[in-house]
Structure 1
Amino acid sequence: MRNDATLTSRTIRLRAGFPCRWSVWSADGRGWYPKGVSPARDLDGLPYFHGDDLVIEVPPERLTVRAARGMEYDRAETTLVPGDGETLVELAPRRIYDAAAHGWYGGDLHVRLNRPSQWVADSQHGEDLHVVNLLPGDGEPMDCWTGRDLPWSDDTHVARVDLAHHTLGIDDPGDCLTKLRERGALIGYANAFRGPVETPEQLVGLGDPGFDARLSVVDAALGLVDSFSSAIGSAPAYRRLIGAGNRIAAVAGAAHRLGPIGRERTYAHVAGRLTAESYAAAVRHGRTFATTGPFLELSANGHGPGSTLNLTPGTRLRVTGRVIGPGVETVRLLTADGELTSGPPGEVAAELTAIWPTYVVAVAEGGGQVRAHTSPVYLDVEKRRVAREEDVTFCLRWLELLEDLIRDRVGTGYLAVVAEARRVYESRLA
């Protein structure tokens, strides 16, 4: 930050009419901030801060000013040379879509409290992020707020401490996770894998030991977790798990925590008013999609993600996927057996005949980091759920490698749980 009175007696007032993420920078890359605001940079190296109707001391040189507001909005930008005194800059980013108007609320379930709570509050409203789950960090203690909305929550923005709990490969997962669920917590993994994963060997070799999603193959089989992170970055692993008969929600991950919060979001379709409890219930029932920006919808005969349809052989369904948002190049509809159809941005549709149990998901993909992935609509046939042999065998190999890895690290308690998960998968092969 550089607010040197010897260099400038000029100010700019930034106004959008609602909280935004602002960036102000000069040609040499210097960032300019309101007084008292800690400098921060996003993934592109641009300075940023949050709020509205803010005043900044600036130099008498050409500046670029940008206003953004999370993934549901475009960005507005201008350049100017401030005049003497105060210069008013009014910018309002255009809304691209309004998820909440359709009952969808986006959340960041992995926000560490490494900054003052006021910074988190400003960020949540400035990014129009509906739900924030705060985890312990190096900032101020927040234990007294567990189970209660934090003070800056309102009708469309909810902040909680420990709304979602991330497993760490504990010795007695069944008892511990059951108690956490009784408290209403969502159970999942904060980080998934360090890179693209296609084989069991990659899954075990690339799992993040700090938040060991390598164990998801165990916990999913035993019904101990609600979600898989990240269904965006580790989509093949996620589809192997649901193809093997596990029913877990697609949620966004947290591969790195640089830049503004809410860069990846878990959207959940909430029944009625947004509360921490209604959002958690929606995630737990799989009414979700994970995204880096696109708004992605899936329907199978009018039923959305998280639904289970019990069909008779030969039943025909119409499946549609629809996407809104910049950067998308392809929309795909996938079943357990592969691609059903794909097409350019907008809406894709296909007919599907139910012969054996399967699922259907929608995926949106584009250049860079543009990704979105829905939870499935499960298509049971004569009350039998999908348990594709190739996917079950994949999970059994994953278990085998995992057992070798943890034998001398976790203890016999978890090895017994691995053995129990193996029995579940083997029963699905019958």
Structure 2
Amino acid sequence: MRDDLTLLAAKQTLRLRAGFPCRWSVWSDDGRGWYPHGTSPARDIDGLPYFHGDDVVLEVPPGRLTVRAARGMEYGHAQTTLTPGDGETLVELAPPRIYDAAARGWYGGDLHVRLNRPPQWVADSQHGEDLHVVNLLAGDGDTEDLWAGRNLPWSDATHVARVGLAQDAPSVPSGLVDKLRERGALIGYANAFRGPVETPEQLFDGGYPVFDARMSVVDAALGLVDSFSSAIGSDRAYRRLIGAGNRVAAVAGTAGRLGPIGGERTYAHVDGPLTAESYAHAVRHSRTFATTGPFLELSVAGERPGATIDLQAGSTVRAAARVIGPGVQRVRLLTADGELASGPPNEVAAELRVDWPTYVVAVAEGGGLVRAHSSPVYLDVERRRVAREEDVTFCLRWLDLLEELVKDRGGLVAEARRVYLSRLA
């Protein structure tokens, strides 16, 4: 049934208050959603109506209503059912906190939000979801250059909003990449692969190469990108890239997903206050994990994701992963050679003897879309980085298939091939 924005002769109103901005859902027994005047109807991935704000007033129909308050992945939800009386009914609900990432130095960002919503909607959504960083992607035809390099007006000490640039991968000239990097920009792929990636051929079974990350095998080898979307559906392709000697961060973003922004987030460990620059610096150095909800910590010999530890062959290190959040069924520690350890939620730990270069990542898995994936801690051996033969061969085949689809501007595919072949040697 469609959502109604107005009611004829409505006498009841609700005032919703949490003490901070939230995501509110109000629905009647017939499933109809109710919204404040002037608010566009929206439904989340579970089909619930929602809008953002605090101390908001809306007209509602006679009869029983359900009211829910939520606030992004660091919070649970509070819910009540009531029958409003005549006049105004005050509903005070506050969603409980599950974890406080910022207290640990971690800040969550959505790096892929299309610039196709009114600014006020984005501002309300960012604060209502307690999303620390939002990157609004302006396409070639958008005219938001006014705000390039500056925080958008609703930013504050714990919420930063910036405008970035979205371009089709094959159309980005290398000169532009160099200029963007000189200005401190993050360069990465926002659209992840979907579905299984057991073979290179599965990367090319569907879709259109302009709109996905197929070019990442080239740009990662040439050091032209900082990150790769890996939280949902792309983790195996991501591990092929890092196993072949590429060093790119695990990131995530909502892209075209249904529901509020921040449904997938890139958490980055920031030293000092949160700024666009400090967050970008952390992502650029792979101090990240990508998640749809769980808070995931990885420690290897006391180091966080993004660190490189140079060891002597035969050294032993301790790796541990810890997860907080509902829905997680299993936590895994993975190296370039496969699973090191796994177990139920909370903490998983293991000792690892390092005889050749490798990496360690942590993965949290659950039902539905519950998932998190860390960037690696790299374990070099006598200054040699990981370049697993199976992963390098995978990337070489990936290059062969790519070359059949795209025009190799400037010989980039050939140059990337030389890089991978040198790693085999």
Same fold (TM over 0.5): yes
State the 1:171 CA deviation: 5.2
User: Counterpart in 1 of 2:229?
Assistant: 229
Flag the 1:215–1:137 CA change in 2: closer, same or farther, 3 A.
closer
Structure 1 contact 71–263 (Cα < 8 Å) conserved: yes
Amino acid across the alignment from 2:362? A
State the 1:135 CA deviation: 1.4
Counterpart CA distance in 1 for 2:253 and 2:205 is 19
Flag the 1:300–1:4 CA change in 2: closer, same or farther, 3 A.
closer
User: Counterpart in 2 of 1:384?
Assistant: 384
Counterpart CA distance in 2 for 1:172 and 1:146 is 18
State the 1:10 CA deviation: 0.7
Flag the 1:193–1:24 CA change in 2: closer, same or farther, 3 A.
same
User: Counterpart in 2 of 1:331?
Assistant: 331
Amino acid across the alignment from 1:423? R
User: Counterpart in 1 of 2:286?
Assistant: 286
Counterpart CA distance in 2 for 1:240 and 1:161 is 31
User: Counterpart in 2 of 1:66?
Assistant: 68
Counterpart CA distance in 2 for 1:37 and 1:55 is 11
Q: Deviations over 1:124-148 (max 9, x none)?
A: 0000000000112699953211110
Structure 1 contact 289–373 (Cα < 8 Å) conserved: yes
State the 1:229 CA deviation: 1.2
Q: Does residue 84 of structure 1 match 2:112? A: no
Amino acid across the alignment from 1:248? V
Structure 2 contact 194–232 (Cα < 8 Å) conserved: no
Flag the 1:122–1:254 CA change in 2: closer, same or farther, 3 A.
closer
State the 1:173 CA deviation: 3.9
Counterpart CA distance in 1 for 2:167 and 2:118 is 25
State the Cα RMSD in Å: 1.7
Q: Deviations over 1:335-371 (max 9, x none)?
A: 0000000000000000001100000000000000000
User: Counterpart in 1 of 2:144?
Assistant: 142
Tell me the SS of whatever aligns to 1:36: coil
Structure 2 contact 98–325 (Cα < 8 Å) conserved: yes
Counterpart CA distance in 2 for 1:282 and 1:417 is 28
State the 1:253 CA deviation: 4.0
1:417 is aligned, of 394, 408, 412, to 412
State the 1:153 CA deviation: 0.4
State the 1:284 CA deviation: 0.3
User: Counterpart in 2 of 1:322?
Assistant: 322
Counterpart CA distance in 1 for 2:33 and 2:388 is 54
User: Counterpart in 2 of 1:39?
Assistant: 41
Structure 2 contact 140–166 (Cα < 8 Å) conserved: no
Q: Does residue 346 of structure 1 match 2:346? A: yes
User: Counterpart in 1 of 2:27?
Assistant: 25
Counterpart CA distance in 1 for 2:187 and 2:218 is 13
User: Counterpart in 1 of 2:249?
Assistant: 249
Structure 1 contact 251–290 (Cα < 8 Å) conserved: yes
Counterpart CA distance in 2 for 1:322 and 1:207 is 36
Q: Deviations over 1:137-178 (max 9, x none)?
A: 69995321111001100000000011xx45523356432211
State the 1:193 CA deviation: 1.4
User: Counterpart in 1 of 2:374?
Assistant: 374
Counterpart CA distance in 2 for 1:188 and 1:198 is 23
Between the aligned residues of both structures, percent identity stands at 77
Counterpart CA distance in 2 for 1:392 and 1:291 is 27
Counterpart CA distance in 1 for 2:208 and 2:281 is 27
2:109 is aligned, of 107, 110, 123, to 107
2:97 is aligned, of 86, 95, 98, to 95
Structure 1 contact 3–58 (Cα < 8 Å) conserved: no
Unpaired runs of at least 5, structure 2: none
Structure 1 contact 332–341 (Cα < 8 Å) conserved: yes
Counterpart CA distance in 1 for 2:282 and 2:289 is 11
Counterpart CA distance in 1 for 2:287 and 2:83 is 48
Structure 2 contact 254–263 (Cα < 8 Å) conserved: no
Aligned length: 423
Structure 2 contact 17–91 (Cα < 8 Å) conserved: yes
Amino acid across the alignment from 1:84? D
State the 1:62 CA deviation: 0.5
State the 1:38 CA deviation: 1.1
Amino acid across the alignment from 1:317? V
Tell me the SS of whatever aligns to 1:219: helix
User: Counterpart in 1 of 2:423?
Assistant: 428
User: Counterpart in 2 of 1:154?
Assistant: 156
Normalised to the residue count of structure 1, the TM-score between the two structures is 0.95
User: Counterpart in 2 of 1:6?
Assistant: 8
User: Counterpart in 1 of 2:181?
Assistant: 181
Counterpart CA distance in 1 for 2:111 and 2:148 is 15
Counterpart CA distance in 1 for 2:221 and 2:94 is 47
Counterpart CA distance in 2 for 1:242 and 1:138 is 31
Q: Deviations over 1:280-304 (max 9, x none)?
A: 0000000000000000000001100
4+ residue stretches of structure 1 with deviation over 6 A?
A: 137-140
Counterpart CA distance in 1 for 2:26 and 2:197 is 39
